[in-house]
Amino acid sequence: MTTRKPEDKNIDPAIQQMIVKGQQDGVTVCYDRYEAMQPQCGFGELGICCRNCLQGPCRIDPFGGEPSHGICGADADTIVARNLLRTSAGGAATHCDHAFETIEMLLLATEGKAPYQITDVDKLKAVAERVGVKTSGKSKERIAHDLAMKAYADYSPSRENKPLSWLESSVPPERVETWKKVGILPTDGDLEIRRAMHETSNGVDHDPVKLSLQCAKMGLIDAYSGLKLGTDFQDIVFGTPRPVKTSANLGVLQEDKVNIAVHGHIPFLSEKIVEWARKLEPEAKKAGAKGIQLCGICCTGNEVLMRHGVPSAGNYLTQEFAVITGALDAIVVDVQCVMPSLVDVANCYHTKVITTHEIGGMRGATHIPFAAETADEDAQKIVRLAIEAFKNRIPEKVQIPNVKTEMWGGFSVEAIIEALAALDAKDPLKPLVDNIKAGNIRGLVGMVGCDNTRFKDGGISVPLAEELIKEGCLIYVGGCCAHALGRAGLMCPDAAAGASDGLRAVLQAIGDANKLGGPLPPVLHMGSCVDNSRVGDLLVAVANYLGVRIQDLPAAATAPELMHEKAVSIGEWAVDLGLLTHIGMAPFCGGSGLVTKILTDDLEGLVGGKFYVESDPHVAAQTILAHIDKKRAALGI
């Protein structure tokens, strides 16, 4: 077993310190478990093992020998494609379930049954009109109700086989036609996921080509029954983000305050924690603290950062290390990307691990069931538990790395357009598009996704982003890589110094016009995983403005350090949009040359986009730039 040094596990000095502290404190963390797991199963990595029925598990010889078929007769292509479809359906399911909760939340708020409001009435009306809900003469509550009904319809079988409202209203008609022609246009979020599970069970679909296309369909389900719908409803209830300055890294924790981390994905509870952390400050002071310091981890972290400037403690791989500081009094979690190990790590300190969601259980954690109707009471209970835990701190175990970086967030599409309007109030997209045409902005790159123990955390995303901005690309970020790029200093005005001359001048002009006191950051934080929809919206807006297809834009997507199933389905959506989609590793499909070829080659002819796998950030950057330049040349710019 090889043991990687801390600097080979994470590029960040604060996390490196905590890796060492964890070792000294005798704590087992993800990197230890990763090393203990080596060598990982080669069959699994290639995607050629199957246990979709109880005759299995079956596994195929990767070298072309025997066994070449599973017991039922499935070959490597079928097994790989079925596995990938299950992964994709898993990813799409998480976002659909999340988005579905947002519909329920808006309804409860509208009916006065939950302590939330319709915060962004303009967005409510804009979304309603976009999806065909009439607004004139209606109260905001009525519009919200009708909008919720319209959203529910996207989760119900459509007998007329109509496309999803959230899909049809969000993309140019050309995309809808293309997806229809290819046979991947979905009509009902829930049905498609159910069907994918059925299709991949023993004895149903054995056609690897058809199965691979179903993966592409899962990308659309994820994007339009999940991401886009969820973002719309969250903005309506909590407000559409606007630029906000904050800070990132474990140094945001404060030794003399009650430290609470919110972690997971769904912002209903975390919004209330933000409110009650403020209101219960006096109780924290009575307990001997100077106040309450809230921080965020993973995508809940991104949500509260985007809307309230709550500092980022870190990404997926940071969660255990936030506890290892010994200064985190409570880590409050809901769903997705929460490590089951948190309780074991917390047991070495005084940290309370608080689960809150009905499907987010963890043995040994304190469970405080969160319900929208009792959101205020639940949030108070949680904050008070953290205050109680503060009293149990073990001072000799406290070590907060003195590392934090300025970071900006809150760049919704609306906020970006407002910022551009300071340059051209009548035609805000014009300055962006003109600078793309002029080459000052060489290309637009959406960087999304996670961090993954198999990579050095930040080891691909940060150098890749640095090289791309140096070469003139503007980067839009969502998900956990935002935390990594933020703490690397790429999301603050100073980072513009690393941009190409042309890009830097554009950023400076936008910064000056908006009186930011410096240039706009070259890496714009658009939010959580769900907020990746915003990256898509921006590309759609630019393509529409230019009158071209999304696939014709000098643009690309990248998920350099993908980890979750969600990253796979989001990547499939990016490909569906027509983007070259870089990923740092293949999603366990190398065991089928056919499926690999479909994903990395054939899809381009069908939908315009394709996957590109590369773990070397420099090679990836050069390939993305070559792609962007090819698109520029084709546009004659």
* Residue ranges binding ligand SF4 (CB under 6 A): 50-53, 55-58, 70-72, 74, 79, 202
Is the CB of 33 or the CB of 210 nearer to ligand MSK? 33
**Which does residue 449 touch among ligand SF4, ligand MSK, none (CB within 5 to 8 A, set by kind)?**
ligand MSK
Nearer Cβ to ligand MSK (59/566): 566
Nearest to ligand SF4 of 54, 425 (CB atom): 54
Instruction: Give the binding site for ligand MSK (CB under 6 A).
Output: 265, 298-299, 315-316, 336-337, 449-450, 479-480, 528-529, 563-564, 566-567
Shortest distance, position 22 Cβ to ligand SF4, whole Å: 39
Amino acid residing at 352? K
CA-CA distance, 197 to 289, in Å (whole number)? Answer: 51
Phi, psi of 472 (to 5 degrees): 95, 15
Query: Cα angle vertex 244, ends 242, 247, to 5°?
Result: 150
Q: Smaller CB distance to ligand MSK: residue 484 or 550?
A: 484
Q: Which does 71 bind (CB under 5 to 8 A by kind): ligand MSK, ligand SF4, none?
A: ligand SF4
DSSP conformational letter for 118: -
* Least CB distance to ligand MSK at residue 238 (A): 17
Q: Of these partners, ligand SF4, ligand MSK, none, which one is at the site of residue 74 (CB under 5 to 8 Å by kind)?
A: ligand SF4
In the complex with ligand MSK, which residue's Cβ is closer, 524 or 628? Answer: 524
- Tell which residue, 494, 484, 415, 478, has the closest CA to residue 227: 478
State the nearest-atom distance from the C-beta of 205 to ligand SF4, in Å: 11
Contact (CB, 8 A) for 273 and 293: no
485 binds, among ligand SF4, ligand MSK, none (CB under 5 to 8 A by kind): none
- Our CB check for ligand MSK shows the closer of 95 and 123 to be 95
CA dihedral angle for residue 483, residue 485, residue 490, residue 491, rounded to 10 degrees: -30
Pairing state between β 443-448 and 312-314:
unpaired
Strand order from edge to edge, sheet including 405-409? 366-367, 352-355, 330-333, 258-264, 292-297, 312-314, 244-248, 405-409
Phi, psi of 616, rounded to the nearest 5 degrees: -90, 115
Structure tokens at 55: 């005759």
Q: Which does 292 bind (CB under 5 to 8 A by kind): ligand MSK, ligand SF4, none?
A: none
> Which residues neighbour 616 within 8 Å (Cβ) at sequence distance 6 or greater?
none
Identify what 72 binds: ligand SF4, ligand MSK, none; CB under 5 to 8 Å per kind.
Answer: ligand SF4
CB of 54 to ligand SF4, least distance (A): 7
For ligand MSK, the closer of residues 293 and 315 by Cβ is 315
Shortest Å distance, C-beta 564 to ligand MSK = 4
Residue 50 interacts with which of ligand MSK, ligand SF4, none, CB < 5 to 8 Å by class:
ligand SF4
Residue closer to ligand SF4 (CB basis): 50 or 598: 50
Nearest to 302 by CA among 311, 289, 294: 311
CB of 68 to ligand SF4, least distance (A): 11
Nearer to ligand MSK, 274 or 450 (CB): 450
Of 311 and 326, nearer to ligand MSK (C-beta) is 311
Close Cβ partners of 434 (under 8 Å, ≥ 6 residues apart): none
Q: Which listed option, ligand MSK, ligand SF4, none, makes contact with residue 33 (CB within 5 to 8 Å by class)?
A: none
In the complex, what is the shortest distance from the CB of residue 218 to ligand MSK, in angstroms, rounded to a whole number? 15
CB 121 within 8 A of CB 163: no
Kindly give, in sequence order, each residue whose CB lies less than 8 Å from that of residue 180, ignoring residues fewer than 6 positions away.
163
From CA 485, how far away is CA 447, in angstroms rounded? Answer: 10
The minimum distance between CB 405 and ligand MSK, in angstroms, equals 19
The distance of closest approach from Cβ of residue 528 to ligand MSK in the complex, given in angstroms and rounded to an integer, is 6
> Quick one: what does residue 337 bind among ligand SF4, ligand MSK, none, with the CB cut-off 5 to 8 Å set by partner type?
ligand MSK
Q: Is 461 helix (H, G, I), strand (E, B) or coil?
A: helix
Nearest CA among 482, 575, 611, 573 for reference residue 96: 573
Partner that binds at residue 298, options ligand MSK, ligand SF4, none, CB closer than 5 to 8 Å by kind: ligand MSK
Q: Answer with the entry of ligand MSK, ligand SF4, none that 386 interacts with (C-beta below 5 to 8 A by kind).
A: none
Q: Which does 598 bind (CB under 5 to 8 A by kind): ligand SF4, ligand MSK, none?
A: none
Q: Which is nearer to ligand MSK, 302 or 399 (CB)?
A: 302
User: Given the DSSP bridges, would you call strands 244-248 and 405-409 parallel, antiparallel or unpaired?
Assistant: antiparallel
CB of 598 to ligand SF4, least distance (A): 20
Nearer to ligand SF4, 77 or 471 (CB): 77
| Minimum gap (Å) between residue 82 Cβ and ligand SF4 | 8
Closest CA to 344 of 319, 314, 378, 312: 319
C-alpha–C-alpha distance, residues 127 and 143, integer Å: 10
| 627 vs 610: CA distance, rounded Å | 12
Residue 222 CB, nearest distance to ligand MSK (Å)?
A: 11
| CA neighbor of 303 nearest in space, from 333, 340, 263, 276 | 263
